[in-house]
Structure 1
Amino acid sequence: MARPDKAATVAELAEEFRSSSAVVLTEYRGLSVKEMTELRRSLSGNASYAVVKNTLTKLAAKDAGVEGIEEHLVGPSAIAFVRGDAVEVAKGLRDFAKNHPVLTVKGGLFDGQPFTAEEFTKLADLESREVLLAKLAGAMKASMQNAVSLFAAPLSQTARVIDALRQKVEEGAAVSSSENEG
């Protein structure tokens, strides 16, 4: 590859690093072209998946101000540049790796912070964003309901006390009127 081509590739990779919310480094050795195409299709919409040269990737990461991935750039490497939901991409890679064990996650970046393969597994085990938001909304609704009950309780008790006093006054008035008649 000529020098200008390398510079263009480094610039393109640096822009991918800058515009991605997460980056997942994998080793793809042993995957067929058909399997790589299947993997790319399964990630489309949330991430792009590209085979990269380690030396050019190191230069691009340095150019983009990314640190903490150099140690993972050994052997054949491919990178998933995440633009959508990182949890969905993590689940997609995990599920693909279950059926194709030769795909291994080396590590990567999430919100600019390096993560290991073990941390990637934890990310893949998270529930989807929608499920987490639904659980949060449910918890907030329950908290609001508890607050309403807490604020309504004194009013309810006051109403019961007033009603009991009214009944007692009425009973007292009924007893005194019957005594007056007799």
Structure 2
Amino acid sequence: MPTPRKVAMLAEIKSRMERASIAISADYRGLTVAQITELRRALRPAGAEVKVVKNTLAAMAAKEAGREELAQILKGPTALTFGFDDPIAPVKAFTEHLRSKRLNIEVHGGWLEGRVLTRAEVESLATMPPKEQLLADVVGKLQAPLYGFAGLLQASIRNFAGLIEARANQLESA
């Protein structure tokens, strides 16, 4: 029979899994409470939360949340980092914090909107530009042909006007 504490923990993990756009699973062994607290503070501005979970409870929560594939990244002592808005920002903040503090944490993998990611894929996400920059690049690439076409039309009209003016000057002088 489950205890009320475990039921509450299950509900909390399930809620985070339902809202998450990305999750990163990492081994927290070797970190002090102060280091985990510092990691939590570093990830908060990126819209992410770190939660140390029991794998059995997390697997049950994943099943209840309809995200069974999340259970595949639960290995050993697990700290899950959940990102709720932009999926790239938490990964960047997580890897940057690990790199700047020289923390030796093993990343087990990740989950991105229904897809399980390997450690290498999680690390490659950290090198991607932010969402705003990607959108700006797409918009710029869509606008470039339109600007080129508009310039071509203006040049044609300018050339035609110059041709008419030259012909008018020729007729005046004749």
TM-score by length of 1: 0.84
Give the match for residue 13 of structure 2: 13
What stretches of structure 1 move > 3 A for 4+ residues in a row? Answer: 133-144
CA distance, structure 2, for counterparts of residue 141 and residue 151 of structure 1: 15
**Runs of 5+ unmatched residues, structure 2:** none
**Equivalent in the alignment of 1:27:** 27
Q: Which amino acid aligns with 2:109?
A: G
Runs (5+) with no aligned partner, structure 1: 174-182
Q: Alpha-carbon deviations, 1:99-158, whole Å to 9, x = none?
A: 334222211211222211111112110112233334344445544421210222221221
2:91 counterpart residue number: 90
| Counterpart AA for 1:167 | N
SS state at 1:69 partner:
helix
Shift of the alpha carbon at 1:24? 1.2
- The secondary structure found in structure 1 opposite 2:126 is helix
Check conservation: 1:107, 1:114, Cα contact below 8 A: yes
CA distance, structure 2, for counterparts of residue 115 and residue 73 of structure 1:
12
Counterpart-to-counterpart distance in 2, 1:117 and 1:37: 23
Aligned to 2:66: 65
Q: How does 1:99-110 map to 2 (within 5 A)?
A: 99-110=101-112
Tell me the SS of whatever aligns to 2:68: coil
Q: For 1:2 and 1:117, how far apart are their aligned partners in 2?
A: 33
Pick aligned residue for 1:151 from 150, 153, 157 = 153
Output the aligned Cα RMSD. Answer: 2.0
CA shift at 1:62, angstroms? 0.6
CA separation in 1, counterparts of 2:140 and 2:88? 21
- CA contact 1:69–1:107 (8 Å) conserved in 2: no
Larger radius of gyration: 1
Q: Quick check: 2:22–2:84 contact (8 Å CA) kept in 1?
A: yes
AA at the equivalent of 1:161: L
Amino acid at match of 1:38: E
Taking structure 2 as the reference length, the TM-score comes to 0.88
